[in-house]
Amino acid sequence: MAKMVKTRVPMPELSVETRLKTFNEVPLGYTEEQAISEAKRCLQCKDAPCRKDCPVHIDVKGFVKKLAEGQFKEAFLKIKEDNPIPAIAGRVCPQENQCEGTCTMGKAGDPINIGKLESFLGDWAMRNGVKEELVIEEKDKKVAVIGSGPSGISCAVDLRKYGYKVTVFEALHKAGGVLQYGIPEFRLPKKVVDEELLYLQNIGVDIRLNSIIGQNVSFKELQDEYDAIYVGTGAGAPFFVGISGEGLNGVYSANEFLIRTNLMKAYNFPEYDTPLVVGKKVGVIGSGNVAMDSARSARRFGAEVYILYRRTKDYCPAREEELRHALEEGIHFMELVAPTRIFGENGWIKGIELQRMKLGKPDKDGRPRPEKIEGSEFIMELDTLVEAIGTTPNRLFLRTVPELKTSSHGIIAVDDKLMNTEGIFAGGDAISGGATVIQALGEGRKAAKSIHEYLSKS
């Protein structure tokens, strides 16, 4: 057996100085040699815990082995058996809580850099034009997929592999859902998203852009035309904190901040039409991935940026890499504060009042509940505020389909087969209210299987 290598092959990254001047991707990616060296660190454990904790159960051990042997094509195809978009998932999965979190090497040293090996293979396949060769046995039945985000993509791909005719309806003018409008270029280049989406078209999935169910296409029309429907509409509507002053200019939802930046390319304004006003001092409420994305974007617009979080860094729900990058990029992390009001001058935000918090007893997810410290309010001057406190399913879609069963905040209810009502299935953030790309992928795949069973019976 080869000698155990405890440390990772370092991932080359853009220097902080360069990062702050561009929206280019931060990790530069492994070379072929680096990827092989990293893959060779894998112990090839018998029980492969990495696979169990993956929401789509990628054969990590299998693909890493092929990669270590330099068999890139075989390694890539191994991932593709379980994950249709490796170049994306490798970049955005919270690996530290999944495959890398259970990696045996992690006990002795650094876990295998599985995410970066996965994206390496996705990128390698794109560069070399390597594709899965599929033989699709066409079926007569048709399925409509609403939403072209992660869950819609994986559901569409699997349904197509089963042989169904699949049409994906996307409300925006570009496909990809949150991958397109939400996650910034420096974390997930849109070129990668567009390339991965080409794969859908190559296998015969019909993607219809600008199709807003309930506005220009009715749900009834879909029911009449398709044998089953998958609802992958995501959680695209922003929550606001609900404090005074949210109407002031300079206050954004993270969704607006990121849609302007990513989908509309405000960082290339005025070459692109859509602007974004970013002040000198920006506050971001929240500390999930969306908060990090907003903060890091604001930093690239030249601002001094403060994350305002009601717990401490230890309980920050963002991916480890995002938090690390944010801190490297000089973003200040203010712990144990919650906003109480926003104040302004001449119609623009001038600052925020914050209240100090302390950590209390654990709540149901095990994190300590933040508790207010009465009388601890203080003022912080800001000229831009971004609220990144979560999203909810879009009521535009829901109210046009009253027959769908929903729970609180319009979250779509499903049974263990991900079916809502006869012939209508759902997955992704539309049923969770907000989770990860990979969980959405997993649900899309699971729903495709259920739809296949459902259509095979009828």
How far apart are alpha carbons 57 and 111 in whole angstroms? 18
C-alpha to C-alpha distance for 458 and 449, rounded to whole angstroms = 15
Give whichever of 333 and 348 is closer to other proteins, judged by the CB atom. Answer: 348
Count Cα atoms within 13 angstroms, Cβ side, for 361: 1
x/- mask, other proteins, residues 55-94, rule CB under 8 A, reads ----------------------------------------
Of 442, 458, 451, 457, nearest to 420 by C-alpha is 451
Span near other proteins by CB under 8 A; candidates 51-59, 312-320, 352-360, 392-400: 392-400
Sketch the per residue contact string, 2 through 31, with other proteins: x for CB under 8 A, - otherwise. Answer: ------------------------------
| Nearest CB to other proteins, comparing residues 60 and 171 | 171
Enumerate residues 332-361 that contact other proteins by CB under 8 A. Answer: 347
Residue 198 CB, nearest distance to other proteins (Å)?
17
97-136: contacts with other proteins (CB under 8 A):
none
Phi, psi values for residue 290, rounded to 5°: -65, -40
d(CA 352, CA 336): 15
Minimum CB separation of residue 298 from other proteins in Å reads 16
331: exposed, middle or buried (Cβ count in 10 Å: 0-12, 13-18, 19+): buried
Report the relative pairing of strands 304-308 and 384-387 from DSSP bridges.
Answer: unpaired
Task: Report, in Å, the least distance between residue 239 CB and other proteins.
Answer: 9
| Closest separation in Å from C-beta 259 to other proteins | 5
Residues between 146 and 185 that touch other proteins (CB under 8 A): 171-173, 181
From residue 393 to residue 432, the character string flagging contacts with other proteins as x (rule: CB under 8 A) and all else as - is -xxx------------------------------------
With CB under 8 A as the contact rule, the residue among 274, 340, 406, 421 that binds other proteins is 274
CB of 427 to other proteins, least distance (A): 19
- Compute how many residues bind other proteins; rule: CB under 8 A: 39
Q: Which is nearer to other proteins, 202 or 210 (CB)?
A: 210
For the bound state, the minimum distance from the C-beta of residue 410 to other proteins, rounded and expressed in Å, comes to 11
Q: Which is nearer to other proteins, 173 or 191 (CB)?
A: 173
Which is nearer to other proteins, 234 or 288 (by Cβ)? 234
CB of 214 to other proteins, least distance (A): 10
Cβ count near 206 (within 10 Å): 16
3-state SS, one letter per residue, for 197-261: HHHHHHCCCEEECCCCECCCECHHHHHHHCCEEEECCCCCEECCCCCCCCCCECEEEHHHHHHHH
CB 142 within 8 A of CB 162: no
- Stretch binding other proteins (CB under 8 A), from 49-57, 63-71, 144-152, 273-281: 273-281
CB of 339 to other proteins, least distance (A): 16
| Minimum CB distance to other proteins smaller for 275 or for 360 | 275
| Cα distance between residue 370 and residue 161, in whole Å | 47
Interacting residues with other proteins between 275 and 294 (CB under 8 A): 275, 277
Q: How far is the CB of 255 from other proteins (least distance, A)?
A: 5
User: How many residues are there in the chain?
Assistant: 458
CA distances to 332, 359, 365, 399, 420 from 431, in Å: 34, 30, 18, 16, 10
Is residue 380 near other proteins by the rule CB under 8 A? no
- Using CA atoms, how far residue 384 sits from 253, 303, 381, 435, 442, in Å, is 11, 9, 9, 27, 37
Spatial CB neighbours of 305, under 8 Å, sequence gap ≥ 6: 281, 282, 283, 284, 295, 298, 299, 330, 331, 332
Cβ-Cβ contacts under 8 Å for 220 (sequence gap 6 or more) = none
State the maximum Cα–Cα separation within the chain, in Å, rounded to a whole number. 71
Q: C-beta of 389: minimal distance to other proteins in Å?
A: 12
* DSSP string over 261-293: IIIS-GGGTTTSS------SEEEEE--SHHHHH
Sites for other proteins among residues 209-268 (CB under 8 A): 210, 212, 215-216, 236-238, 240, 246-250, 252-253, 255-256, 259-260, 263-265, 268
Which residue ranges make up the site for other proteins (CB under 8 A)?
Answer: 171-173, 181, 210, 212, 215-216, 236-238, 240, 246-250, 252-253, 255-256, 259-260, 263-265, 268-275, 277, 347, 394-396
